[in-house]
Structure 1
Amino acid sequence: MIASSPAEVAQGVSKIISMLPASAEVQEVYGGKDGILSTAQKGTLLLDSSTIDPSVSQEVAKQAETKGAVFMDAPVSGGVNAARDGVLTFMVGGPEGSFAEAKAILDNMGKNIVHCGAVGTGQAAKICNNMLLAISMVGTSEAMNLGIRLGLDPKLLASILNTSSGRCWSSEVYNPVPGVVPGVPSSNDYKGGFGTALMTKDLGLAQNAASSVKANTPLGAAVFQIYRTMVNHGFGGKDFSSAFVFLQEQGKAK
């Protein structure tokens, strides 16, 4: 089906899944003049897999409720390979009574479909995950860069890290050094994957959330600044694992 607007899509379906770049796009696609909620039918299930501010998910859910529709936030994690293999993790926030119906849909794309609680808790889980992911990616990039400069072969160093206490997803599954792990963006000139600009957006969401609940996140704040600097240096369109290249270049400049 090809439609000219989100409103036209919503006219003829009872279930919709969306995945959009940021809060503004979600607000427009759902609540705009030709948005989904302008024509959504009573009983429609709306699953949004964007990563956005939890308060925006809660706002859209309230708007959907006035139309008799059910909105659930269902952000996703796992990376390119998990998407390809259909083993993604979905973190779902929304009414418990609607979770079984949502899970039946998301099971077609994911392996781990987790109900986190009320609307917005899926987003909360996702921004915590992405903050930790960014921290571990920069840490892995720093360790790999240091080891290589000290004369270690990158594949050897990665194998040692991955059988030692430094092991993490960023070192083992998504290593940022080209040629260490085949089939990931670092081995394809950092093309595809999860863009640095999007990671920066998610880190900003995490910092806003941390401020709102007075949570101390010094590493989250530091890595947010690193990714903001990367965007300013032209890395916005490259996969977020290009932190390795950025750190290499910064080292050479000193």
Structure 2
Amino acid sequence: MLFGFIGLGQMGKPMALNLARKFDVIAFDKRHVTLPEDPPNKLKLAAGIADLAECDCVFLSLPSAEILRKVLFAEEGLATCLKEGALIVDTSTVEYNATLEVSSKLSKLGLRFVDAPVSGMQSRAENGTLTAMCGGDAADIAELESTLISMASKILHMGPTGSGQLTKLINQLLFDINMAALAEILPISAKLGLNSKKIGEVINSGTGRSYASEFFIPNILRNDFSKGYPMQEAYKDLISGAELSAHQVLPTPLLAAATATYQRALHEGHGEKDKGAMILVFEELLGCRFRCQDGGNND
């Protein structure tokens, strides 16, 4: 079985490398991609999308629904060159309605589709321990399991097409709310003169901890806002949350508050930083910094 992989970014590249340790993979990215010094022998880089025409299954890891549509349905897009019955697996994070639209178009072209967004950030993509949330036909997902296991340690079939994206959205919105809460509360501890490093230790060993606190607090203490996904690219999750709330008439007051913090951080020019940079909004407001290197109680 021949696999394709399109999108060799922060998540896609390590996923493709892990896949190629077990299977033959033809990978493509329109940007120049630097591979490790000893890439798997089964991995070949393509010059264009047309080089993936003979693939039985193609994985996608793309930054937006707009780019997903272009890759699939442009004049020389993937959907125009794959053989009938080929399987397309979208590991990107895109809007639910866009996923349904893409699935419908591919079905009319005789192609199969599974939405399988992943969670775990770059470190887990590198060690192959992502969580994959799959939506689609049960038979297609069962067929994929032996392949996905090279990239994900947890593979869950969440329901029909789009269910994977809905599940990922729920997870991401909780992550965003957690970080917005940290951004608001942590500077208060610094303002009151508490030791930032020790506050971080208390939170991450106590009942206030979350994945967001465990990931972001150590980085914030080091003044490092480069380890996570850039806020300007991750903002699409909050747009999707607002759309879901509006269309389904779902009250989401905490999400709305978190979104306001996120939006202010973007307006203040922090879009290229990761979500931990939301703390900069409240640090400026309170005139303090939650860092290890600060003087006084934060030494």
Alignment-mate amino acid for residue 267 of structure 2: N
Per the normalisation by structure 2, the TM-score is 0.76
Q: Distance in 1 between matches of 2:260 and 2:67?
A: 24
Q: Distance in 1 between matches of 2:121 and 2:83?
A: 33
Shift in Å, 1:117: 0.6
Q: Distance in 1 between matches of 2:218 and 2:162?
A: 31
Q: Against the structure 1 CA distance between its residues 4 and 188, is the aligned structure 2 distance closer, same or farther, given a 3 Å change threshold?
A: farther
Identity %: 29
Mapping of 1:1-254 within 5 angstroms?
1-6=44-49, 8-175=50-217, 177-179=219-221, 187=222, 189-252=224-287
Q: Distance in 1 between matches of 2:194 and 2:128?
A: 36
Q: Against the structure 1 CA distance between its residues 247 and 188, is the aligned structure 2 distance closer, same or farther, given a 3 Å change threshold?
A: closer
Give a deviation string over 1:71-116, Cα, whole Å, max 9, x none: 1111111123222322111111110111122222221111111111
- Partner of 1:34, secondary structure, is coil
Contact 1:5-1:34 at 8 Å conserved across structures? no
Alignment-mate amino acid for residue 202 of structure 1: D
Q: Distance in 1 between matches of 2:206 and 2:236?
A: 32
Q: Distance in 2 between matches of 1:9 and 1:117?
A: 32
Q: Against the structure 1 CA distance between its residues 86 and 3, is the aligned structure 2 distance closer, same or farther, given a 3 Å change threshold?
A: closer
Give a deviation string over 1:143-164, Cα, whole Å, max 9, x none: 2211122222222112212333
Q: Against the structure 1 CA distance between its residues 225 and 4, is the aligned structure 2 distance closer, same or farther, given a 3 Å change threshold?
A: farther
Q: Distance in 1 between matches of 2:257 and 2:184?
A: 14
Q: Distance in 2 between matches of 1:188 and 1:145?
A: 13
Alignment-mate amino acid for residue 220 of structure 1: L
203-212 or 164-173, which deviates more? 164-173
- Partner of 1:194, secondary structure, is coil
Partner of 1:183: none
Q: Distance in 2 between matches of 1:116 and 1:9?
A: 32
- Partner of 1:42, secondary structure, is coil
Per the normalisation by structure 1, the TM-score is 0.89
Contact 1:89-1:112 at 8 Å conserved across structures? yes
- Partner of 2:272, secondary structure, is coil
88-97 or 60-69, which deviates more? 60-69
Shift in Å, 1:246: 2.8
- Partner of 1:99, secondary structure, is helix
Highest CA radius of gyration, 1 or 2?
2
Q: Against the structure 1 CA distance between its residues 231 and 52, is the aligned structure 2 distance closer, same or farther, given a 3 Å change threshold?
A: same
Structure in which a larger fraction of residues adopt helix: 1
Q: CA RMSD in A?
A: 1.9
